[in-house]
Amino acid sequence: MQDKLIKLCGLYENVSKTTGKKYFVGNLSFTAKLLLLENKDAKTGEPQWTLFVAEREPKPQTAGTAGAGDEIPDPGKPVSRRR
């Protein structure tokens, strides 16, 4: 039997403003996100990274952001077609 990969989401690399540590984050759904944090204290044989599921905070919508074009689109937001 051949294994099939199912893509859950893309991950974006970030650096924490408070700790300076690198982490990865991606939107799993409209209400959940994945966080991948490095375990710097891991000993030999222990996991080097820990994956968390967290509630995704909704971004406030402002009138000026609709159709801006230079932002990453929200996967839950309908795409408007330009004519």
Q: What digits encode the pLDDT tens for the residues 19-75?
A: 999 999 999 988 999 999 999 888 999 999 999 999 998 777 776 655 555 566 666
pLDDT at 10 over 80: yes
Tell me the pTM: 0.61
The pLDDT of residue 40 is 86
Instruction: Give 80 or 39, the one with higher predicted confidence.
Output: 39
Q: If you average pLDDT over residues 8-19, what whole number do you get?
A: 93
Q: What is the DSSP string of 6-40?
A: ------EEEE-TTT--EEEEEE-SSSEEEEEEE-T
